[in-house]
Every structure is written in C-alpha cells, then in structure tokens.
Amino acid sequence: MSTQPSTELETFANPTPERDYTIRIRIPEFTCLCPKTGQPDFATLYLDYIPEARCVELKALKLYIWSFRDRGAFHEAITNEILSDLVRALEPRYMRLRAEFNVRGGIYTDVVAEHRAEGWTPPIPVQLPF
C-alpha cells in the first residue's frame, strides 16, 4: 500500500450485508489549514455508518485524511465535503460525521452532518433498561 496522502478511498466488500450494523470510527489526528490566515487547524473526526455493499479500508481512510494536511478549508465546508466524499465511495445506508475543531479565539466549534440512503428507514432502536 502506498504511504502517500491520497484522495482515493479504497473499500472492501461488507462481510455481513444482511444486517444493519454500525461501524464507529474516531480520528483524532485531522489537520488542515485555515483558508483566511493559512495557519494550521486541528480537529477530531467521528465517523459512524451503517454499510450497504462496501466498507471503508482503514489505511486508505488514513491516507485520505492525510490529503487535507496542506489544504485550506472552512469548518462547515470541509465537514460536509468529507461526508460527501465518503458517501460517494461507500454509498452507505446511513452515515454521520462529526468534526470537533480545536478552540480558536476562546470559541469551540463542532460541525455534524449526516446522510441517509433514499428508501432506507432506520430500525426502531431497542432501548434496554439501564
């Protein structure tokens, strides 16, 4: 496997497509550049999805994340773009991305976006007593 930043999102076949199961991924090492000042920005990404036919390969996801290292990117726009890229590559039943940006000017900002496949309805959740 290449160890260059890459915008390709390699995938593999979902081993259990008969179930609506969830994959949760946390990436604390996202960094890009502020398009206004050119200075580095940092965020933690939280990606949750229910796969359809494809799952994302984790090493490829890492190289994809790396590809933002030298790009300028606004908080709101970049979160939506990453979600859109992943949706295009995986065509998941459901996907949600939360980007938790580091504090700037005393203000903390998170952006959360989600995608639902057309015609897909979420299973009614089972809430076990706690």
- Per CB under 8 A, the list member of 52, 54, 89, 104 interacting with a copy of itself is 104
53/32 Cα distance (integer angstroms): 30
25/97 Cα distance (integer angstroms): 10
Residue numbers in the known binding site for substrate are: 56-58, 75-76
CB of 121 to Ca ion, least distance (A): 29
- What, of a copy of itself, Ca ion, none, does residue 31 touch, CB below 5 to 8 Å by kind? a copy of itself
- Per CB under 8 A, the list member of 88, 108, 118, 119 interacting with a copy of itself is 108
Listed residue (32, 63, 29) closest to 44, CA to CA: 29
| 89 part of the interface to a copy of itself, by CB under 8 A | no
What are the residues facing 11 on neighbouring strands?
56
Reading the block at residue 40, the tokens are 């580095």
| 54 part of the interface to a copy of itself, by CB under 8 A | no
